Amino acid sequence: MDSSSRFSSPSSSINSARGIFCSQSLNLRSISAIGYDMDYTLVHYNVKAWEGRAYHYCMENLKKLGFPVDGLTFDPDLIIRGLVIDKEKGNLVKADQFGYIKRAMHGTKMLSTRAVREIYGIELVDLRLEGRWVFLSTFFSMSEAVAYMQMVDILDDGVIPANLGPFDYKGLYKAMGVALVAAHVEGRLKSDIMSNPEQYVELDPELPFTLLDQKEAGKKLVLITNSDYHYTDKMMHYSFNRFLPGEMGWRDLFDIIVVSANKPEFFQMSHPMYELVTNEGLMRPCFKAQIGGLYSGGSANMVESSLNIHGDEILFIGDHIYTDVNQSKVHLQWRTALICRELEEENSALIHSRGCRESLLELINQKEVVCDIFNQLQLTLQRRSKKLNSQLKTVAATNMDNENLSQSMQKLLDVMQILDVKIAPMLEADGDLFNKRWGYLSRADLWDKSHLMRQIEKYADIYTSRVSNFLYYTPFMHFRSQEQNLAHDSHTNYCSRVDKFPSNGKLD
């Protein structure tokens, strides 16, 4: 893609789907090393194909165990990243930045707003309670979530054979998880992908040049992936080598390569490190990584020691909010960048829905004006009836008698009900262009950020849709966070809302 078709300069990128967005200021000049995850970071997969294949093998394993899964198909539109599985209730929920549940689905059926309130009330999602809540923070969660929600329907229908044992929703999640893990462990899934990478991998010609720029700028590049060497070599060779100059191969881009890293433990503790000495995967123990080396296992501390680079001199880029971003920041104080491909689709959806959102906000503002006037009249009536504070005047002071005051209030109620009829379906439809069930990735409703967005802003210094977006910022870019507005920063003239109240105190 020609850069001019995207944005002409970093200063204009803030409005671009391919921009890099900053939560905490980050100067790339202070970064000496850049670490990369591979899956869904340096190598992006066709989600429907990859996760659909994982789902297929999961269902095969469940069928072998005796579960009635015939006829079920993978539906990637059923979920979005950032949702949370409630294993106690068999629900999938979307929470806001504070953990309050805004939307929920039981099995594959969306619950009404009223049902959500009745089930959860003011209960908060607490991701520390891993026995109950499962945060879907990566594309790899899609096959898991779709399979589980469909299995909840089967459990509710009472068609699981009795010989498989009684199941509650937690037990069902465990059984489904075992089947999915087996799909990965058996090796058939990755064997399929290595045999036909063109069906699963989406190529990005700009990506290798992004890393070349960083390398030529003096950054040490490190690949840290949980995938094994054979899979890593196949995927990286397919994705990179065709675009690199001359005889250069993907391994030439990196100063250190670590496969089978076992993240997040890689960032938390030390494990034995092995050097891979042959293409067949022969390994020998080692105690220190060398520049140009290829290793299995080990720890982040070993990488720091080998490069003689520590803490905030290192930027780690990955797609998993916990395994990549949270852990490298919390345990090592590395700087962090999150890759979230859905930002491009969400940006497009927001652009196309701009007119509808503006109309919706205008209606909401109209209702607020009417509601403010109603509240002032109600307070006036209250003070008169109780004969308290009679000397005080409300903002919407009026000379109407009580009967006319009550009639005016009823008219205002009628107007609010008319506005509600218009507003309700527009609120329901907000976000439909991104996902009809769950709305936008970054928003829990019209106003509040989603729980995922809170996690991103808390742990990712910068975030963007793909690594190749760095190509248009230079390796010396100083990303600066935007000014953070506080509630009291916004100065609105409350009294202006009642300016339209008729001077004669009567409503037409």
Whether 13 shows a pLDDT value over 90: the answer reads: no
Residue reference for tokens 């309700």: 424
Whether 333 shows a pLDDT value over 90: the answer reads: yes
Residue reference for tokens 């852990």: 327
pLDDT confidence tier of residue 165, bands split at 50, 70 and 90: confident
Strand order in the sheet with 220-224: 20-22, 462-464, 335-339, 314-318, 33-36, 220-224, 256-259, 293-297, 273-276, 283-286
Q: Check residue 498 and give its pLDDT.
A: 45
Whether 491 shows a pLDDT value over 90: the answer reads: no
The count of C-alpha atoms lying within 13 angstroms of the C-alpha of 439, restricted to the half-sphere facing its C-beta, is 24
Helices within 186-293 (DSSP H only): 188-195, 197-200, 207-216, 229-240, 265-268
pLDDT confidence tier of residue 393, bands split at 50, 70 and 90: low
Whether 145 shows a pLDDT value over 50: the answer reads: yes
* Higher-confidence position of 501 and 481: 481
Q: Check residue 14 and give its pLDDT.
A: 52
Listed range (119-123, 161-165, 386-390) with the worst mean pLDDT: 386-390
Contact 398, 339 (CB under 8 A): no
Listed range (80-89, 117-126, 480-489) with the worst mean pLDDT: 480-489
Q: Give dist(CA 31, CA 310) in Å, integer.
A: 10
Whether 9 shows a pLDDT value over 80: the answer reads: no
Q: Check residue 29 and give its pLDDT.
A: 97
CATH code, residues 26-43+201-339: 3.40.50.1000
pLDDT confidence tier of residue 185, bands split at 50, 70 and 90: low
Whether 499 shows a pLDDT value over 80: the answer reads: no
- pTM > 0.75: yes
Q: Give CA separation, 275 vs 113, 285, 393, in Å.
A: 55, 6, 81
* Higher-confidence position of 184 and 75: 75
Q: Check residue 83 and give its pLDDT.
A: 96
pLDDT confidence tier of residue 446, bands split at 50, 70 and 90: confident
Whether 239 shows a pLDDT value over 50: the answer reads: yes
Q: Give CA separation, 341 vs 8, 81, 439, in Å.
A: 21, 10, 16
Tell me how far the alpha carbon of residue 423 is from its chain's centroid: 27
